[in-house]
Structures are given as C-alpha cells and as structure tokens.
Amino acid sequence: MSKNWFITGTSAGFGRVLTERLLARGDRVFATIRRDGALDDLCVRHGERLVVLKLDMTDAAAVAATIDATFARAGRIDAIVSNAGYGLFGAAEEVSDTQLERQLATNLTGAIRLIKSALPHLRRQGGGRIVQLSSEGGQIAYPAFSLYHASKWGIEGFIEAVAQEVASFGIDFVLVEPGPTGTQFGMNLDLGRPLPCYDATPAGDMWRALKENTFDLRGDLQRSVDAMLPFLDMANPPLRLPLGSLAFEHIRAALRERLVALEALEAVARAADKLP
C-alpha cells in the first residue's frame, strides 16, 4: 500500500534523494523547498503524486499553516520527515549573534515547531511516524561546529522526551544520524569570521581542512538513503539510526569514553544523596 509523506528541505541532499526514492516506488510526497524550480523535473515525471510547497523553517506561522493545509489536503500523512537544515562553521566567538539565531531557528526551533504542529494531526488519525534527520553531530562534537552541534544535540534531547510523551498515541520517532557524507552540506556552510587567536587551535585546524577540502566524506548519499528506507518502513524501528562507518565508529567511541568517565564518578555521585 502506498504511503503519504511530508518532507522538508527537498531541494538537494538527503531530502531530494529520499523524495526520488519514494516517488519511484509509488508513494505520494508533499515536499517543501525554499528555491523555486528545484523539483520541476520530478513534477513532470510524477505528476500529482508530488506536491511541492514553499516553506521557510524560520517562519513559525508558515510552518504551522503548511502542516495544517497538508493534512487537510491529504487526509492522512503516514510520516513526517524533518530534514531541512544547514551547518554553521566557526568557533563560538567567531560567529555572530545573527548567525547563531538563524542556525537555531532553522535546525532546532524550526524542527520543534514542525513536530509540535504535526502531533495533533497524528493523534487524531491514530498514529504516524516522525523522522528527524540529525547527524553523528547529535552525539559527538567537532571544534568549529559548536552552534551546529547545539542544534543537533538539542533536537535529539527534545525527541527523546517527546517520544515518551506520545508513544501511547501510536506515534513513534526515528533519529537518522549520518556521518560525513558527499552532499552539498559543505558548499552551503554559513561561515563565521576567523580570528587569528584560534589559528593554532583545533578550530584553526578545522578552518584549514575546510579551505583545503580534506574532510573524509566517506558516506555515499545514494547508499545512505537506500540504507534508511527499510528502517523507515519497519513496524518498530530503533530510535536512532547511524549511517556510515565513520558515524558508527565515532558514536561508539564517544559513548564508550563517556561511560568510562561516568563510572569513575559513581562514588562521588552517590555521595550527593540524602543520608538514610
């Protein structure tokens, strides 16, 4: 049976390829874009099974209105895919307040508003799935990506809580966590203003890697989406899905390191309890 999907950020990258795959197998997709014409070729090929919507994720009223209108038109949406987002690059004091606010408004509060707007509709229809495109950067951190990580760690914490709140309504979540992947992510980075004092720090090393294009983009976009789809169709998928060997290795190493550090502090933690 075909499904109805609502996907944000479909002009390129994961959103675009996922839209292509779903349409090719016969599903219907409500796809949001910011740039006119980005999906014209798919419209010609798939006709009424693709509905293209203009949406800026920083516009709170537009997010809610678009979700309401989509459910009214479709009758039922089986899965919401919150994919729209971008990266802000630079050490914390190298990025402006305006850049900070836009990063969080798009990646964090925009995604939160999207999910909040969808929940009443999903409850009324008896359930559904919300898929959040996060990143390995929702569980680990690189220098010069501090604000990007704030958005990804933030949305993962939000979803961890909301998933518990709405599970009894038949609503579940999947957090997709790709590692470095060959998309347009790097080309679309919002760049801070490099400060000379950071030149000899890990943040400076990251600036040089960006300039010299030496990041290890081991993940393949097409293969990543092919790996995603079976999990998005599962009856009871895991909450988190890492994509790519780098994501798996980095997340595993970070979790092991945190567990070792935590267990070393057990006596200190227990000493803070009230006395019996």
Residue 211 bears catalytic tag: no
Query: In percent, how much of the chain has pLDDT > 70?
Result: 100
Query: In percent, how much of the chain has pLDDT > 90?
Result: 93
Of 11, 82, 117, 134, catalytic: 134
Average pLDDT taken over every residue of the chain: 96
Residue 134 bears catalytic tag: yes
Residue 152 bears catalytic tag: yes
Question: What pLDDT does residue 181 have?
Answer: 87
Of 148, 151, 198, 224, catalytic: 148
Is the Cβ–Cβ distance between 88 and 95 less than 8 Å? yes
Of 11, 135, 151, 152, catalytic: 152
Cα 276 to its chain centre, rounded Å, is 45
Question: What pLDDT does residue 268 have?
Answer: 97
Please write down the HEC assignment for all residues of 83-145: CCCCCEECCHHHCCHHHHHHHHHHHHHHHHHHHHHHHHHHHHHCCEEEEEECCHHHCCCCCCC
Q: Which pLDDT band holds residue 163 (cuts at 50, 70, 90)?
A: very high
Helix (H/G/I), strand (E/B), else coil: 180: coil
Q: Is the predicted pLDDT of residue 239 greater than 90, yes or no?
A: yes
Report which residue type is found at 258.
R
Question: What pLDDT does residue 84 have?
Answer: 96
pLDDT in tens, 32-70: 999 899 999 999 999 999 999 999 999 999 999 999 999
Any idea which residue has 């909450």 for tokens? Answer: 239
Q: What are the chain's domains?
A: 4-245 (3.40.50.720)
Question: What pLDDT does residue 188 have?
Answer: 86
